[in-house]
Every structure is written in C-alpha cells, then in structure tokens.
C-alpha cells in the first residue's frame, strides 16, 4: 500500500513539474505524439531517454521514423535526427559542412570534438540567417551511411541556459548497431 502511494505521489509530482502546453507547442506538434520514458528506434539503432521536465514528441504514422523532438519552451527546442547521407560522404565534418552551407548561416567560434551519448562526434555552434543560435552535435556511421545529429534551437537570450538542458539530452543518447 505504501509503495502504491509512493508511486501515485511520484506520478502526480512529475505531472506538476511539466509546463503547460502552449498554443505554439500544440500547433508545432499537431502531427506528432508525446513519447514518455524512452524513444527507441530499432531500425536506426538509436535510443534516447527522456530529459526530466521536457516533453518528447515523435511523428505519427505514416511518417518515417527519423528521430524525436524535445520542447523546452516556446520556439526553443532540441531534436535528435537520423538521416541517410550520400555514398560519397566520408565524415561527420562533411555533414557539418552541409549544416553551415545553408545560405546566411554563420559559424560561432570553432568546431570542436564532442560526444553524442556513447560515440565521438563533431560539435558546431552557428547563427541562422535570421540570427537564431543553434548548436549541433553530429556522429557519422560510414558503414551504415547514416548521420545522427542532435541540435539545439534557441534564441540569443536563452542560449546559455538551454545549453545545459541540451548537455543533459546528449548524455541520454545511445547509438547501437542497426537491426
């Protein structure tokens, strides 16, 4: 009985700590569904554990399953994305080059080695043409010809604050072999 009561209180506490869903979030996720606990993608060998207090969304069928979206606050979010790369792509650096090749994008600082969960990765921070700051961490699997990218989408006022949430997300990612 005590255990049941404890579980009930934990569930209520978790619900209380989640921010209410804004109209922006409802619109942004109108074709997605909330995923609780962990996102497990056997097809691409990707597991992402939920970040406490952050809602995680995945696409509804028939959409292909390429990753998950995490809403921090209005217009501030993170995603983990698995993408096929051309057969002539050889490195994470080339995938980063593609991110920076979007017209108007400006690199902030320099590229750095980082980790995407359990694997080594390349990290880059940049400003979009609209002046919005982004941070991406990219791992490239040459055998499978797939890139795994986690990105923080924030604004100038919250970038440093959101970076700590993003760091928590990076630690919750596990990349395994494809099925």
Partner 1 sequence: MACNPNFQEFFDAYIPLIRPMARNLATNEDFLLALVAFEDTWGRDEHNKLLHNIFGLTKAGGRNLHFPTYQACIDYFTTKYKQHFYGVSTLQDWIAGMKKVPYNTVNPVYYIKFTNTYLSVVKHKGECAVK
Residues lying near partner 1 in the complex (CB under 8 A): 28-32, 41, 43, 57-59, 61-69, 77, 79, 81, 83-84, 86-88, 98-99, 102, 144-146, 149, 151, 153, 178-179
Please say which residue, 32 or 47, places its beta carbon nearer to partner 1.
32
The minimum distance between CB 100 and partner 1, in angstroms, equals 12
Please say which residue, 47 or 81, places its beta carbon nearer to partner 1.
81
**Number of other residues whose CB lies within 10 A of the CB of residue 96:** 23
CA dist 174 → 9, 11, 98, 138, 160 (Å) = 30, 26, 24, 13, 24
Under 8 Å CB-to-CB from 114, ≥6 apart: which residues?
Answer: 120, 121, 122, 123, 137, 170
The minimum distance between CB 168 and partner 1, in angstroms, equals 19
Say if residues 76 and 153 touch (Cβ distance below 8 Å): yes
Please say which residue, 31 or 36, places its beta carbon nearer to partner 1.
31
Distance CA 112, CA 131 (A): 21
The minimum distance between CB 135 and partner 1, in angstroms, equals 13
The minimum distance between CB 166 and partner 1, in angstroms, equals 14
Under 8 Å CB-to-CB from 66, ≥6 apart: which residues?
Answer: 44, 59, 81, 82, 83
Please say which residue, 39 or 114, places its beta carbon nearer to partner 1.
39
């Amino acid at each position: 009985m005590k255990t049941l009561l404890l579980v009930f209180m934990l569930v209520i506490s978790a619900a209380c700590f989640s921010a209410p869903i804004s109209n922006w979030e409802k619109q942004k996720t109108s074709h997605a569904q909330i995923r609780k606990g962990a996102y497990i993608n056997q097809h691409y060998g990707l597991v992402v554990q939920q970040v406490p207090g952050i809602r995680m969304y995945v696409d509804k069928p028939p959409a292909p399953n390429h990753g998950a979206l995490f809403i921090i606050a209005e217009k501030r979010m993170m995603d983990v994305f698995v993408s096929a790369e051309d057969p002539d792509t050889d490195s994470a650096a080339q995938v980063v080059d593609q991110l920076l090749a979007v017209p108007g994008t400006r690199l902030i600082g320099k590229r750095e080695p980082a980790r995407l969960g359990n694997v080594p990765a390349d990290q880059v921070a940049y400003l979009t043409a609209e002046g919005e700051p982004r941070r991406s961490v990219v791992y490239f699997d040459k055998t499978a010809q797939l890139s795994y990218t986690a990105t923080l989408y924030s604004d100038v006022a919250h970038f440093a604050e959101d970076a700590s949430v993003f760091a928590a997300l990076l630690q919750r990612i596990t990349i395994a072999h494809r099925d």
